[in-house]
Amino acid sequence: MAVFKAALEELKTAGAEIVDPADVDGLPQRLQNAGPCRGFKYDLEHYLAEAGAPIRTLDEIIKGGNFHPTIRRRLEGAQTTDAAGDNSPGCQASRDYRKKYGDAVLATMLKLKLDAFVYPTWSNPPAIIGDVRSNLAGDNSQVYAPTTGFPAITVPMGFTRGGTLPAGLTIFGRPWDEGRLFAFAYAYEQATHHRKPPPTTPPLK
């Protein structure tokens, strides 16, 4: 969060007008009585079929075992549900929820005359691959962009842990406004030059 506060000051120096706070009013509550959408199995198997993949079903994926052990329970849980598809009550309720969520975001942007929102991509250091217990909180990428379907882009905003762990700044905007987000991201990167490649290591012998 300290890195993010510094990024806000960098944005101001670069000429951005910061509106803070910019609370989104009128966010809908998710309906609980429509049931889950359960679209994962349906979407996955239709994608595999259309792509002509050698593996066609979730059951084949589970039996093959070519995935990280930490996600086995999730895959098996999806396998035990019906392939509900896009027209199930749960999926229809999810679409209605996403539409209302997007409408609330756009209303706030219009009211406050915002071109975009900015926030830290994560609010804490990420967990090591396979660690499903620690550092799970703080992922800010699972709310606004995936719920609304609006575009977002992440750029480096600095480093933590003695300059070794990069932190990301997410820029989230209106639907079909990717061009503006690319311009903001490019301008910020040119003004700060936070991006730097990791150190190279000699090849294994």
pLDDT in tens, 154-183: 999 999 888 888 899 999 999 999 999 999
Task: Specify the residue for token string 């052990």.
Answer: 69
Distance, CA of 173 to CA of 26 (rounded, Å): 18
| pLDDT at res. 133 | 65
pLDDT in tens, 22-56: 999 999 987 666 666 777 888 899 899 999 999 99
pTM confidence score? 0.76
The average confidence (pLDDT) of the chain is: 88
Kindly tell me if the per-residue pLDDT of 100 is higher than 60. Answer: yes
Whats the size of the chain, residue-wise?
A: 205
Cβ pair 80, 117 in contact under 8 A = no
pLDDT in tens, 105-133: 999 999 999 999 999 998 877 767 777 66
CB crowding 81-96: b at 16 or more within 10 Å, else e: eebbeeebebbebbee
Kindly tell me if the per-residue pLDDT of 136 is higher than 90. Answer: no
